[in-house]
Amino acid sequence: MSVLSSPLSIDGTRQSGKSVRTQNVTAALAIANIVKSSLGPVGLDKMLVDDIGDVTITNDGATILRLLEVEHPAAKVLVELAQLQDAEVGDGTTSVVILAAELLQNADELVKQNIHPTSIISGYRIACKEACKYISEHLTVPVESLGRDSVVSIARTAIGSKIIGADADFFANMVVDAVQAVRFGDAKAAPSYAINSINVLKAHGKSARESMMLKGYALNCTLASQQMPKKVVNAKIACLDFGLQKTKMKVHVQVLINDPDKLKAIRARELDITKERIGMILSAGVNVVLCSGGVDDLCMKYFVEAGAMAVRRVKKNDLMIIAKATGAAFLTSLTNLDGEESFDASMIGEAAEVVEEHVCDDDLIFIKGPKARTAVSILLRGPTDSYCDEMERSVHDALSVVKRVLESKKVVAGGGCIEAALSIYLENFATSLSSREQLAIAEFAKSMLVIPKTLAINAAQDATELVAKLRAYHNSSQTNCTYGHLKWVGLNLTDGVVRDNKKAGVLEPAISKIKSLKFATEAAITILRIDDMIKLNPEEKSTKTYDDACAAGELDG
């Protein structure tokens, strides 16, 4: 009997079953192994060189994974996971990837023991829910009870694992001052912190300790002309997302003229349109104009005559932040809904003063005392450009962490403390269940230990002994009321011992731990659900040569 080929054959390859799952887990582990050695206060950096030779040296998980060109679809899930953690919390990108990969590896072991993935997934979901609940109820400390020092400690912990870790105290205080300066909101409502109003500028030269915080939003731009005033008090600001240049006819516009005198009139009108536009802006009371395009000599002349300040080629992002801070309208054109050009006083932003100052080797424009929101700038100094870039990433992480803590008002102890506590709690919780999810929850508990283990390995300590001590302390704190204070015990990686990390000031935002647990679990579940992989073959493109085309033309002829 002849076997007919399936009429629904796929133009591609199909893999299904255990081999796909194992392949996905291997890809996820490969990604995690890349960032594993960069975890913790003594983690190492990675050097990434792209196809055009640009070098990036960093230990920020999200940056490393973003710069890698990952082909495997399952590995891409982990790259997106790191970016999500970076966007939501700003820190903990490396640990979330390591945790997700460990959860996957342990789940794969269970699948090999013929436990269905559905049971593992439901077990993981229960474990994640219980873990988040346990952190919220037993392991968090309100920030108010600890004061400003705790917020500085959180910033110090975030910076401790970075390139500027040696100067963690100096930068932690600077970051906390900067975040508290951009607080806004009603006295009754919970305060918000606009950290995008903190402009981080970099200038290589001098040492990292000579970095400084500057009051006002600093722009890395200079005045359009040296004849303009260097300082404007009671500034009335216009934010224009276009250039101020002589009006030109659009491309493909044809004007047919019989009389040469009319050509002069058209040219004069072009100049008048520009003059009217600038006159309209200045007559509304504007004395500082920031625009994202260029300002030509003709327009500059009008501003100099009016004693106004004009700054050209301001980054669009900076322009939007300044518009928000000063209460100005962000204008993409002067045309209103009726098609007429207009500029009125409601579009103007206000600031106490706008001044050009010489800072370090550059001239910077400072917008001080904006009306709607305060703004500050941090100027980072460092020996090389790549060092300054890494400093900027470190400061961004610290700013995000401080913002999260001040808004959520809850912290937890760091140094593997939370993971060890959850591991013990979930192990005991698993034994209280009589369903098949018990095995998955036990594996989840085992996976939690990957963080303290990796921290100890990276610090060149005896990981087995330290993790065993840590588990013993947390077991005592959970089973015996008299040892309740031991729940804050975590690793001291410098001396290779365990200690009370709450007292030592190694603190992290509670929201960072909860989110990373949720994200890691969801990512692991997403990859675990896959049991079939169908890869379609690319369409064959007709590769006709020039000679073929010529031959075809001759035949047609």
453, pLDDT greater than 60: yes
Token pair belonging to 338 = 């009726």
Decide if 31 is inside a domain. no
The strand pair at 288-291 and 231-240 is best described as parallel
Known catalytic residue at 384:
no
The strand pair at 497-500 and 231-240 is best described as unpaired
Known catalytic residue at 454:
no
* Catalytic residue (choose from 93, 157, 374, 454): 93
Average of per-residue pLDDT across 316-345:
82
The answer to whether 333 touches 315, Cβ cutoff 8 Å, is no
237, pLDDT greater than 80: yes
The answer to whether 237 touches 354, Cβ cutoff 8 Å, is yes
pLDDT given at position 451:
92
Decide if 307 is inside a domain. yes
2, pLDDT greater than 50: no
Decide if 362 is inside a domain. yes
78, pLDDT greater than 50: yes
Confidence grade of residue 1 (pLDDT, cut at 50, 70, 90): very low
pLDDT given at position 5:
44
Token pair belonging to 374 = 């305060």
Which of the two residues, 396 and 333, has the higher pLDDT score? Answer: 396
Nearest to 164 by CA among 395, 357, 446: 395
Confidence grade of residue 4 (pLDDT, cut at 50, 70, 90): very low
Nearest to 92 by CA among 60, 136, 127: 60
Angle at 369 between CA 368 and CA 370, to 5 degrees: 100
Q: How many domains does the chain have?
A: 1
pLDDT given at position 541:
65
pLDDT given at position 133:
92
482, pLDDT greater than 80: no
The answer to whether 57 touches 386, Cβ cutoff 8 Å, is yes
Decide if 122 is inside a domain. no
105, pLDDT greater than 60: yes
Q: What is the DSSP letter of 191?
A: P
In tens, the pLDDT along 265-295 reads 777 777 777 788 888 888 888 888 898 888 8
Q: What is the DSSP letter of 469?
A: H
Known catalytic residue at 397:
yes
Decide if 178 is inside a domain. no
Three-state SS for 520?
Answer: helix
CATH of the domain at 335: 3.50.7.10
d(CA 290, CA 159): 35
User: Tokens 């399952």 identify what position?
Assistant: 74
Nearest to 199 by CA among 447, 366, 44: 366
Domain range for 321 is 217-373
User: Tokens 């906390």 identify what position?
Assistant: 176
Average of per-residue pLDDT across 342-359:
84
Q: Note every long-range contact of 224-230, with CB atoms under 8 Å and residues 24 or more positions apart, other chains counting.
A: 224/295, 224/300, 224/303, 224/310, 224/311, 224/312, 225/300, 225/303, 225/304, 225/310, 227/304, 228/303, 228/304, 228/308, 228/309, 228/310, 229/307, 229/308, 229/309, 230/355, 230/356
Decide if 422 is inside a domain. no
d(CA 139, CA 410): 10
Three-state SS for 151?
Answer: helix
Angle at 60 between CA 54 and CA 61, to 5 degrees: 105
* Catalytic residue (choose from 63, 94, 326, 454): 94
Angle at 71 between CA 65 and CA 75, to 5 degrees: 55
* Catalytic residue (choose from 56, 58, 60, 108): 60
**Within its chain, how far is the Cα of 337 from the centroid?**
37
d(CA 295, CA 84): 40
Confidence grade of residue 99 (pLDDT, cut at 50, 70, 90): very high
User: Considering only 124-128, 381-385, 449-453, which range has the smallest mean pLDDT?
Assistant: 381-385
502, pLDDT greater than 60: yes
Other CB atoms within 10 Å distance of the CB of residue 196: 14
**Within its chain, how far is the Cα of 177 from the centroid?**
20
pLDDT given at position 7:
52
Known catalytic residue at 363:
no
* Catalytic residue (choose from 157, 397, 454, 521): 397
Confidence grade of residue 504 (pLDDT, cut at 50, 70, 90): confident
The strand pair at 288-291 and 309-311 is best described as parallel
Decide if 338 is inside a domain. yes
Decide if 540 is inside a domain. no
Angle at 235 between CA 234 and CA 237, to 5 degrees: 150
